[in-house]
Amino acid sequence: MNRTLVATVGAVGFLACLTTTTAEANWTGDDRDSARGCARSFDATQRADMESFRDFDAATFRAVHARDAVSIYPTGERHVGLEAIMAAAKNHFTNKNAVWSWTELSRRVDGCRSAVITYDATYDIPKYEYHQRALTVVTYVYEHGRWLAVMDQGTLLELS
């Protein structure tokens, strides 16, 4: 099996419950509106991240990642920097023969600062009877008015 196929699932890193911190519960109306705006903006970014990988949309996938993002694949391979991540995922975006699906297990949004989502994700390539399931954790930061993925790490759960 091509090692790139095994590794590709970790390139994404990334839908059930929004957690509110105690500090946010004490915010004023203006602060809450800002927090809600950040939460909506975050939701759009994380959805674009996951759906762009599923839909083989390399341009959108690139746009929601920081230049210095890090991706650690379920195989243990580490890719530092957006260009390295895109190079590692090149076959995925070019071949367009994989089925990527995910279930959000948990979500934590810390105001307009950072967010973390944990996914149960599968990456299948039917043509090769390839199946990989991983626990994927994706971390985002809010910088210069927008959310960006900065880290994703996959833990291999099953491979066949």
Q: 146 phi and psi, to 5 degrees? A: -150, 155
Asked if residues 133 and 160 have their Cβ atoms less than 8 Å apart, the reply is: no
pLDDT digits (tens, 9 = 90+) for 57-90: 999 999 999 999 999 998 899 999 999 999 999 9
The number of distinct structural domains making up the chain is 1
pTM summary value: 0.77
Residue 52, domain CATH:
3.10.450.50
Q: Residue 78: CB partners within 8 Å, gap ≥ 6?
A: 70, 71, 72
Residues of the chain whose pLDDT is less than 50?
Answer: 1-32
Task: For residue 114, give its domain range.
Answer: 3-159
| Helix or strand holding residue 110 (H, E) | strand 99-110
Q: Which two tokens stand for residue 155?
A: 């833990």
* 34 close to 142: Cβ distance less than 8 angstroms: no
Would you state the pLDDT for residue 9?
39
Question: How high is the pLDDT of residue 75?
Answer: 86
Determine whether 11 is exposed, middle or buried from the number of CB atoms within 10 Å of its CB (0-12, 13-18, 19+): buried
Helix/strand/coil for 153: strand
